[in-house]
């Protein structure tokens, strides 16, 4: 899951980025409202974490413009304590939720997961495909009830694939799930992580569709 963080406070921004990375999110951090708008235009993030007091363009303006464009991605507003007016204004402008600083990072992560889940219209937090199950709340994957030990990147790839069983995801779509902008993207990194994921899942789950990308399906459906 890839999150855009718009926050000009270095300490808060750094803490949130580290905390969410630890929870398995890819986080891109921008420090002003203009940069947030440019990043939103790339359309690669699943959710926006928005500080309202941003330089160059304030958070409420960014949020209102986003909703005017018809961008329905979830927005979680980060506000200062006692800023009741900010919270009301944020919700009125189309925010989905808010958290008051300072907040607990595990609560932030849980709220992000809940918002994205709601956005995707999934009632059940667990995603299953036949005997394979992925639980975003605990970051665990089980096959026939047996836990699989996956790396953060293997988990991110499986998360992307299992969200759309039978759909072919391109290399670019999978790379987006793996990397922050600042990371160098190794040209065959997706293949490396997929190959190790395939070894752990066993044969037949992840199929390469030559020239197009990869898809997941239950081996029995082959
Ligand atoms: Ca601020």
First to last CA, the chain: 28
Ligand 1 centroid distance, CA of 60 (Å):
12
Angle in degrees, 0-180, between the axes of helices 171-178 and 189-201, rounded to the nearest 10: 90
Ligand 1 centroid distance, CA of 150 (Å):
36
Residue with the two structure tokens 């065959």: 188
Ligand 1 centroid distance, CA of 63 (Å):
15
Check residue 182 and give its pLDDT. Answer: 47
Ligand 1 centroid distance, CA of 84 (Å):
15
**Chain CA centroid to CA 25, Å:** 6
> φ and ψ at 213, to 5 degrees?
150, -145
Residue with the two structure tokens 């941003």: 54
Ligand 1 centroid distance, CA of 41 (Å):
22
Ligand 1 centroid distance, CA of 9 (Å):
6
Check residue 39 and give its pLDDT. Answer: 95
SS3 labels along the chain: CEEEEECCCHHHHHHHHHHHHHCCCEEEEECCHHHHHHHHHCCCCCEEEEECCCCCCCHHHHHHHHHHCCCCCCEEEEECCCCHHHHHHHHHCCCCEEEECCCCHHHHHHHHHHHHHHHHCCCCCCEEECCEEEECCCCEEEECCEEECCCHHHHHHHHHHHCCCCCCECHHHHHHHHCCCCCCCCCCHHHHHHHHHHHHHCCCCEEEECCCEEEECCHHHC
Check: CB of residue 154 under 8 Å from CB of residue 200. yes
Ligand 1 centroid distance, CA of 52 (Å):
6
Check residue 222 and give its pLDDT. Answer: 46
Ligand 1 centroid distance, CA of 121 (Å):
32
Ligand 1 centroid distance, CA of 152 (Å):
30
Check: CB of residue 119 under 8 Å from CB of residue 72. yes
Ligand 1 centroid distance, CA of 145 (Å):
45
Q: Is the pTM of this model over 0.85?
A: no
- Ordered per-residue pLDDT tens for the chain, 222 residues: 899 999 999 999 999 999 999 888 999 999 999 999 999 998 889 999 999 999 999 999 999 999 988 888 999 999 886 778 888 888 888 999 999 988 899 999 999 998 988 877 655 568 889 999 998 777 789 999 999 999 888 998 999 999 888 899 999 888 887 765 445 556 678 889 999 999 999 988 999 999 999 999 988 654
Ligand 1 centroid distance, CA of 90 (Å):
14
Ligand 1 centroid distance, CA of 54 (Å):
5
Q: What is the CA radius of gyration of the chain?
A: 18
Ligand 1 centroid distance, CA of 68 (Å):
23
Q: Could you tell me how many residues make up the chain?
A: 222
Ligand 1 centroid distance, CA of 7 (Å):
6
Angle at 184 between CA 181 and CA 190, to 5 degrees: 95
Query: CA 129 to CA 162: how far, in whole Å?
Result: 7
Check: CB of residue 197 under 8 Å from CB of residue 158. yes
């Amino acid at each position: 899951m890839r999150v855009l963080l718009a926050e000009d406070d270095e300490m808060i921004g750094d803490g949130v980025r580290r905390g969410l990375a630890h929870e398995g999110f890819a986080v891109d951090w921008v420090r002003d409202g203009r940069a947030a708008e440019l990043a939103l235009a790339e359309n690669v993030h699943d959710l926006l974490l928005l500080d309202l007091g941003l330089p160059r363009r304030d958070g409420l303006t960014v949020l209102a413009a986003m909703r005017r464009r018809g961008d329905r991605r979830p927005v979680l507003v980060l506000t200062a304590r006692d800023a009741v007016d900010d919270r009301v204004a944020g919700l009125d402008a189309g925010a989905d939720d808010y958290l008051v600083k300072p907040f607990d990072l595990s609560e932030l992560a849980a709220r992000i997961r809940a918002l994205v889940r709601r956005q995707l219209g999934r009632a059940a937090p667990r995603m299953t495909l036949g005997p394979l199950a992925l639980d975003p709340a605990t970051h665990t994957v089980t096959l026939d009830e047996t836990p699989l030990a996956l790396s953060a990147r293997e988990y991110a790839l499986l998360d992307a694939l299992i969200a759309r069983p039978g759909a072919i995801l391109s290399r670019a779509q999978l790379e987006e799930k793996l990397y922050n902008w600042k990371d160098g993207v190794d040209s065959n990194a997706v293949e490396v992580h997929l190959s190790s994921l395939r070894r752990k899942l066993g044969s037949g789950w992840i199929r390469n569709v030559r020239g197009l990308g990869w898809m997941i399906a239950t081996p029995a459906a082959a």
